[in-house]
């Protein structure tokens, strides 16, 4: 029992020593281990308040994007990502990349940086955290929707608001 308490206290001190970027401590713990933190990251609150004009890229599968996405986002995908689809985009403009939780978008952000994009940022916690914190998403007709593709039932546990879609 004492060991469990010490481990819990140790984990608490790890997470209390740095700013948590998502609302759930369990989600924060999962993300801290899943992501390599190899690119700039921005929390949902910080991005929602940002005054910069970001180019927003969605790194999820096209079927996920079609269910809903952050308003103004351009779909670039992950599995079949091709730099030529964004070759006309200015490399000095701030770019925000997101996916469901931040893993796929982190990998796309790495590719963008290698391709010479100067100001690339990953949305920490992804569209799940965006929706969890009460921000809106839109469908392909640009109408606000509660539907969010939850990727899979195992990953969908991190989406706490909105209507989960798995198709």
Catalytic residue among 44, 57, 67, 99: 99
Distances from the Cα of 84 to the Cα of 18, 81, 88, 118, angstroms: 38, 9, 8, 17
Structure tokens at 136: 């809106």
Distances from the Cα of 14 to the Cα of 39, 41, 68, angstroms: 21, 19, 35
**Among this protein's residues, is 119 annotated catalytic?**
no
Would you name the residues annotated as active-site residues? 99
């Amino acid at each position: 029992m004492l060991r469990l308490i010490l481990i819990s206290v140790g984990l608490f001190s790890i997470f209390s020593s740095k700013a948590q970027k998502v609302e759930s401590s369990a989600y924060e713990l999962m993300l801290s281990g899943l992501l390599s933190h190899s690119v700039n990251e921005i929390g949902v609150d910080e991005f929602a308040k940002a005054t910069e004009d970001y180019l927003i890229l969605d790194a999820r599968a096209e079927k996920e994007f079609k269910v809903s996405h952050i308003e103004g986002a351009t779909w670039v995908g992950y599995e079949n990502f091709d730099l030529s689809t964004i070759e006309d985009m200015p490399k000095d403009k701030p770019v925000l990349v997101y996916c469901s939780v931040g893993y796929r978008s982190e990998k796309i952000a790495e590719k963008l940086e290698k391709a010479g994009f100067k100001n690339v940022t990953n949305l920490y916690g992804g569209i799940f955290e965006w929706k969890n914190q009460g921000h809106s998403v839109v469908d392909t007709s640009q109408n606000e929707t509660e539907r969010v593709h939850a990727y899979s039932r195992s990953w969908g546990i991190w989406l706490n608001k909105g209507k989960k879609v798995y198709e």
